[in-house]
A and B are shown apart, each in its own frame.
Chain A
């Protein structure tokens, strides 16, 4: 069975919908965006992820036209949009605060952008009805924004920004104001809507779980630069730096010196008096080069007996157990004082499990379980 995988970024003939070319943005002396280049393709659900102040909101505001780059160009379908004012761009934005017009009903809010286009009445009516149906808001069309719930307001904001069928929809922390359960449901709703309308979405978020769930590709940002752009799976499994590995999910970082011991195989001397760990890496490391082994807690097995045939195994003592329901994270203290996190799925009921606080345990992982990073 063959299936075309949606990956326009791997196709060299594909033209990007958006192209940031050497964009720099300064606010006074502060550099918000630092010589950044980025391509985003049609129908992508692209996430800009980073801590607050990393420049992700500035990127979005430049796409909407509320900020202009200090240097560089931004292209939309091959055309430089830097001189185009926000009201003339085929780009719509869903605001973090939703920015619904409080004096207008849900229907009028959705129709607001369409009316500016001098569309005739019937077409506006039809489009509004379509948007209300898409976001399941038919029953609330006559209400004012203060008469509906937070989740409904979020859907009105989405309907309003989609109504003009923009080439590009910008979502600024769209789910930030919702509680966790509603947020998860809405994430899937957003993905469905993105797929059914075929609109290109760019979402700004500081919530890595949200970015991983919804996005086709994620750009991890820090201090005005993009550190890595990749699919969620690649970002998680193959981070290109300690920063990305640490920002996405939970990770153990073992820092030491690399020593080649075979083809693509290295030993990392990470602590005096502790046996070196073995890891594979396709990226080359020279003898004695600083290397960081990034390994996810769920890739580390924990057992009461010494495991056979493990590439890496060490003995330690359970310091802490974080019980998350479906998972438990064990903090295992090694004799040298380092702490390694290991995670296991709780497939058995709690009373049947055999590892508890202060127990001596073995942790182990294979040579391919982690990623060896230079920086």
Chain B
């Protein structure tokens, strides 16, 4: 019995150990190494023996990251883009979730399906589709010019605006679903009670609906913010040369410069930055679970 329980607990821990901790330690080790013209492109390796290996590791790459302002600017800009796009996703996602939760019962599964539907096609294809929509000869510009709203095409593709659009579009379902779950659980008589006690519809929304969907809002924001911070595909395909995001920097270090140690150091710091919101997210989930128990 005790054996079985120990085994049951051991499985997820083993999973985490093999697929998270070990790769992280490898990345961390590389971040402490030096670049070399070799395969693999860094030194020292395990071929040099453990003692030699440890004596050659140093924090040189982290010192380099701190001294070159490109990196911390990229981190800051990533944080800013992630935060702003999370906020915009909330602005778009909340009304959708609200509409879904207030829709007739028989429509809800269909609406839910529509929110999830984009996941059935490849993420990359959907981002390419946005390139077709946003480019200067793209659908959006043609439509606006046909309407006569603009005389010449707007430059949207390869700017930060396109990146925001891409992130909001891609992560919208992650915002909608937890908020919808929170609103769906809400007892509608609470709104009637608020109105009965003297609230207008708007007051009832801000005083009752929003506080009661707070956990859904927090969960949705983290689910968007965390992946958006390290986002690489969207800024590199939709963003321009001026778009500075740490995911893109990391990719360039790794593939263009073939500087694995610096790329690894960038990744380690990104992970350290992400630990804060991840821990906060976990705590929010736990608090919610306790409140429901």
Contact = CB atoms under 8 A, between A and B. Distances in A.
A134 B174 CA distance: 47
B192 A112 contact: no
Interface string A85-98: 11100011101110
Interface residues of A, number: 24
Interface string B198-238: 11100100011001101000000000000000000000000
Interface string A105-125: 000000011001100000000
Given A95-B193, A102-B212, A146-B291, A116 B199 contact: yes
B255 to A, nearest CB: 49
The winner among A99, A101, A117 for most chain B CB atoms within 10 A is: A99
B198 A113 contact: yes
A146 B293 CA distance: 10
B212 A112 contact: no
Contacts of B193: 93, 95, 99, 101
A101 B206 CA distance: 13
B195 interface: yes
Contacts of A117: 198
A64 interface: yes
Select the residue from B193, B194, B198, B291 with max chain A CB neighbours within 10 A. B193
A84 to B, nearest CB: 12
Q: Chain B contact residues (Cβ within 8 angstroms of A): what range?
A: 10 to 19
B17 to A, nearest CB: 38
B196 interface: yes
B212 A97 contact: no
A87 B190 contact: no
Interface in B167-209: 187, 189-190, 192-200, 203, 207-208
A99 B187 CA distance: 8
Contacts, number: 58
Nearest to B186: A102
Nearest to A66: B192
A292 interface: no
A146 B196 CA distance: 22
**Interface residues of chain B: helix, strand, loop or mixed (majority):** helix
Nearest to A146: B291
Contact of A164 (B192, B194, B198, B291): B198
Given A103-B212, A146-B291, A95 B197 contact: no
Interface string A239-253: 000000000000000
B187 A97 contact: yes
A160 B197 contact: yes
B195 A101 contact: no
Interface string A125-141: 00000000000000000
Nearest to B192: A66
Contacts of B187: 97, 99
Contacts of B192: 64, 66, 86, 93, 95, 99
A58 to B, nearest CB: 14
Contact of A116 (B198, B212, B214): B198
Given A103-B212, A116-B203, A97 B189 contact: yes
Interface string A35-67: 000000000000000000000000000001110
B197 A116 contact: yes
A112 B291 contact: no
Nearest to A163: B197
B192 to A, nearest CB: 6
Contact of A93 (B196, B207, B291): B196
A9 to B, nearest CB: 27
Contact of B196 (A64, A97, A101, A103): A64
Given A86-B192, A97-B187, A146-B291, A103 B211 contact: yes
Contacts of A64: 192, 196
Most chain B CB neighbours (cut-off 10 Å) among A87, A102, A117, A160: A87
Nearest to A144: B291
Residue with the highest number of chain B CB atoms closer than 10 Å, among A65, A112, A164: A112
A106 to B, nearest CB: 15
A117 B190 CA distance: 19
Contact of A101 (B200, B208, B214, B291): B208
B186 to A, nearest CB: 9
Contacts of A66: 192, 195
A110 B208 CA distance: 14
Contacts of A95: 189, 192-193
Nearest to A116: B198
Contacts of A116: 197-199, 203
A65 B198 CA distance: 12
Contact of A99 (B190, B211, B214): B190
B238 to A, nearest CB: 39
A101 B190 contact: yes
Contacts of B199: 87, 116
A86 B190 contact: no
Contacts of A101: 190, 193-194, 208, 212
A49 to B, nearest CB: 22
A36 to B, nearest CB: 23
Given A96-B189, A99-B193, A102-B212, 12 more contacts: A64-B196, A65-B195, A66-B192, A85-B195, A86-B192, A99-B190, A101-B212, A112-B194, A113-B197, A116-B198, A161-B197, A164-B197
In the A-B complex, list the 5 residue pairs whose CB atoms are closest, starting with the nearest. A113-B197, A116-B198, A99-B193, A99-B189, A103-B211
22 contacts: A64-B192, A64-B196, A65-B195, A66-B192, A91-B196, A92-B196, A92-B197, A96-B189, A97-B187, A99-B187, A99-B190, A99-B192, A101-B194, A103-B212, A112-B197, A112-B207, A116-B197, A116-B198, A146-B291, A160-B197, A161-B196, A164-B198
Interface of A: 64-66, 85-87, 91-93, 95-97, 99, 101-103, 112-113, 116-117, 146, 160-161, 164
